[in-house]
Amino acid sequence: MHRRLATGLAASTLALMTVAGTATAATAAPADKPQVLSSWTQTSASSYSAWAAARANQSAWSAYGFDWSTDYCSSSPDNPFGFPFATSCARHDFGYRNYKAAGSFDANKPRLDSALYEDLKRVCLNYSGSTKSACDGTAWTYYQAVKALG
């Protein structure tokens, strides 16, 4: 009787461990998460475009557990003087939040801040003359603020 109970208990424990192990493996982020995060937080326009496409289809990336939350440009205007900086600020937030969660924020902060600046300058390419100069100056101010305080 004790032997059958012990055998049944051992089999149940093994089954439970197998289910728990499978559940843990299924909820773990894919191994390429750091590479994906890096590819979406570079200074290039193609990096920005890839991130924007992923942001528009977040459910396809749910297994990665990325933090897509944003407060856009924090306490600064999201669209200063009518310049649409909100999406650039959202990508910056994405980088900050996800690198902090990964424990590698300090090593990546300079690049994240530079990526914000490049994104903002690309917004400014839509303007000309004194409006472009005003946009570029505002972009520089935002960059200096995150570089110093971000």
First to last CA, the chain: 67
Strand ranges, E, within 53-141: none
Helices (H), the chain: 2-27, 33-39, 45-56, 86-102, 105-124, 129-149
Greatest distance between any 2 Cα atoms in the chain:
91
How far is CA 69 from each of CA 80, 82, 125, 130, rounded to the nearest angstrom? 21, 23, 27, 34
CB-based contacts of 126-132 (< 8 A; 24+ apart in sequence): 127/83
Active-site residues, by number, are 92
